[in-house]
Amino acid sequence: MLNLTRQEQLVIKFLVIFFLIGSGLYFFRTRMAESRFKHQQADSTAVVRFREQAQKADSLYLRKLSEAGAKVQRRGGKINLNTASKAELMQISKVGSVTAERIIAYRNQNGQFQSIDDLKKIKGIGEKTFERIKGEITVE
């Protein structure tokens, strides 16, 4: 047919084989890249959907938590130091998150408050602060 020597035939076979292998690899890589891209799009869509659902759940939880805090049951308009939650304690003027945690820690370590004067033992509540808030608290 073409009158090629044996060595020329081997070179042509070698080139054809490597051409086919290269084409196969190229095809495989492009298919994998397309597949990966589709998975990434699906994953990112799922992530966005999950993030939206988590934000809705968080906002719903925070709304219910704030509603619960707003509905604090007080006796005579005062907050009971022995039963109040952190959210309830934070409704006392001059009592923030850290002080509320300290009050709860003191209550857990030492038992119930015997009188409202025991509140002065909490770090951050001095005589001035106590005088300002004593009308808002009770011990029962």
- pLDDT: is 56 or 72 the higher one? 56
Query: Where is average pLDDT lowest: 1-10, 36-45, 47-56?
Result: 36-45
DSSP code of residue 95: -
Claim to verify: residue 57 and residue 122 sit in the same structural domain: no
- Domain of residue 27, residue span: 1-71
- Say what the pLDDT of residue 58 is: 72
Residue 32 or 38, more confident? 32
User: How many independent structural domains does the chain possess?
Assistant: 2
Tens digit of pLDDT for each residue in 7-32? 998 999 999 999 999 998 888 888 77
Domain boundary among 39, 71, 103: 71
Query: What's the pLDDT at 65?
Result: 61
Q: Is pLDDT larger for residue 24 or for residue 39?
A: 24
Closest CA to 132 of 86, 95, 82, 90: 95
Quick one: 65 and 3 in the same domain? yes
CB 91 within 8 A of CB 69: yes
CATH number, position 94: 1.10.150.310
Q: What is the mean pLDDT of the chain?
A: 82
What are the two backbone dihedrals, phi and then psi, of residue 12, each rounded to the nearest 5 degrees? -65, -45
Judged against a pLDDT cut of 80, whether residue 46 lies above it is answered with no
In terms of Cα–Cα distance, which of 128, 94, 89 is closest to 107?
A: 89
Within this chain, do residues 11 and 61 fall inside the same structural domain, yes or no? yes
CA 74 to chain centre: 32
Q: Token pair of 123, please?
A: 């770090």
Last residue of a domain, one of 53, 71, 89: 71
In this prediction, residues 82-93 reach a mean pLDDT of 88
Check whether residue 63 and residue 86 sit in a common domain.
no
Angle at 80 between CA 128 and CA 101, to 5 degrees: 70
pTM: 0.48
pLDDT for res 105:
92
Rounded average pLDDT over 30-58: 73
Average pLDDT over residues 33-59: 72
Judge if 40 and 3 occupy the same domain. yes
